[in-house]
Structure 1
């Protein structure tokens, strides 16, 4: 994995931390990922959040399905297992060396997910179904407080990294953060049932990239996340204690004209996953693998296009972010129709 960038110096004096900003850009360009240490993030909040999500996913399936909102592209509430289908990345996979190819998966992912919107939403938008209010499950009195606290902490980290990215790319420092202001940011923990799916090489999330701007993860209790670096190498993710992992999403790729590419990744059961499973059993905890994930987004009504003239590319035409998201959701079977078709 990459070295850790401590963002404390930037938080103290952004103008004197340009070298760290350049390191942020270099890490995303060469690997598609970034590992940071943020002194504002309290990891006891991550533990509280994961405890609650383990208990939620351990509910009966029918209870969880009450929280699903397919009419809103599953962009709030729960997404049941075997709903999300990785988009067809056969062309990308064909270019990887045989020993670096992803674990084979047929059909939909056997994982659940819960989407919890966080941050200010626009008063008016062409994409209302991408900007819906939160769903609060029954029987969890602290749900809103726990979700909002952890989501706010890691969204704050994303916003800081976006500022550092802009500076490192020689853009005005507020370039990305202004575009993120009304983004449909989502705390998006997955739940994978290791009580049922516990054979080595079981795929919980098939080979894919993220459609959003920046994805951020706290440390999961179960290893199993693998990423592909820019050179095509498959690498196991090991987040140091007290650190956060960020991944470049498709919106960042679009805005940089491919200078930074959205990173591919998968989640697979391996020996380390099964060791963690035994520890959870001994502790008397539910045997669900929960990811501590948040998707930060560019605002739905912002235009995605390369931000510098030298980054212009026919592959990245001017496109409303909401259209880009709607099209991506169709590809992974979460959205049935494009919400707005806009020519720019």
Structure 2
């Protein structure tokens, strides 16, 4: 694998079946694709990245007012040095802020908590919610293609993610002061959720583990959005679609002396969805590998493993 496949999203409206095969084959082979011509305006992305710089530039004491102790980082601010990759020995070198789905009225699931907004930055809410909604819609188009590829109805995922506890995560990796640190910006891991859509970063560091055991740097193609399979989708597809290991390494100077910003969107199932292998993904050659589990139970199990909840 020299680079991840590029998927032209304009095919969605021109030849949906061909689009579905491109998406499905890209994920089946690599677990990662780059979405081009996705229709999300660059200005919207740039505005979100810029307001995130302003957010993380706030004084530490101000940011910590928005940290919810015992909340598992589900909303608001999570300080530097909190999260650790599963089975890793050292914490990740990052701080982040979680924004969830905005719900009018009573939420259908208790997991859909109210968002936390920084009073110091009134533009943060509209700019971040605009990106949330755009990535949520883009993720659903990718899932439509995967549904067809997996021999399901095109709208198979629609009522399974419409109230998902999906999270937009503005991320800041500060400059690396200690070049000899054993920590990395994000240790090797797989994502817990269904799909992840990554906006930014403008700096290098993201690497994907190829099937031959080598690490492939993901060069951010101008304007592309990186989209990868998460563990929930791998489980649902009985490992037909792999949740690929990836990491954010500490880059060489001069990049290591600068901050790195990115905004992943973690698309989740509705909390009550039962994740059980699809019949179309089970065969004599590939017998069912996973026991059924609800999306919420699986999420809690994994959040304990990475130290976000005790």
* Common fold by TM > 0.5: yes
Give the ranges of 4+ consecutive aligned residues of structure 1 lying more than 2 Å apart after TM superposition. 118-125, 195-202, 229-233, 274-278, 309-315
Check conservation: 2:191, 2:231, Cα contact below 8 A: yes
CA-to-aligned-CA distance 1:232-290 (integer Å, 9 cap, x gap):
3311011211111001101100110111121111111223xx44567xxxxxxxx4311
Q: CA deviation at 1:9?
A: 2.4
Structure-2 separation of matches of 1:310 and 1:268: 34
Give the structure 2 partner of residue 147 of structure 1: 128
Q: Is the 2:191–2:243 Cα contact (8 Å) retained in structure 1?
A: yes
Q: Distance in 1 between matches of 2:222 and 2:76?
A: 29
* Residues 71-114 of structure 1, C-alpha deviations (whole Å, 9 max, x = no match): 321111111111111111xxxxxxxxxxxxxxxx6321121011
Moved more, 115-124 or 56-65: 115-124
RMSD: 2.1
2:92 maps to which residue? 109
Deviates further, 214-223 or 36-45: 36-45
Structure 2 residue 101 is the aligned partner of structure 1 residue 118: yes
2:264 counterpart of 1:265 = no
CA contact (8 A) 1:151 1:294 kept: yes
Give the number of the structure whose residues are more often helix, by fraction. 1
Q: CA deviation at 1:119?
A: 5.3
Name the structure 1 match of 2:210.
229
Counterpart for residue 271 of structure 2: 300
Change (3 A) 1:134 1:319: same
Structure 1 residues 230, 170: closer, same or farther in 2, change over 3 A? Answer: farther
Q: Distance in 1 between matches of 2:24 and 2:280?
A: 18
Post-superposition offset of 1:40:
1.9
The answer to whether the Cα contact below 8 Å between 1:303 and 1:319 also exists between their aligned partners in 2 is yes
The 5 Å alignment of 1:194-213 reads: 194=175, 196=177, 203-213=184-194
Instruction: State TM-score, norm by structure 1.
Output: 0.82
> 1:13-28 residue pairs with structure 2 within 5 A?
13=14, 16-28=15-27
- Measured after TM superposition, the shift of residue 149 of structure 1 is 0.9
Q: Report the counterpart of residue 299 of structure 2 in structure 1.
A: 325
Gaps of 5+ in 2: none
- SS, match of residue 322 in structure 1: helix
Shift of 1:172: 0.8
Taking the aligned partners of 1:322 and 1:6, their CA distance within structure 2 comes to 33
Aligned to 1:175, the other structure's residue is in SS state: coil
Structure 1, unmatched stretches of 5+, are 89-104, 279-286, 337-344
**Displacement after TM superposition at 1:116 (Å):** 0.5
DSSP-derived class of the 1:150 partner: helix
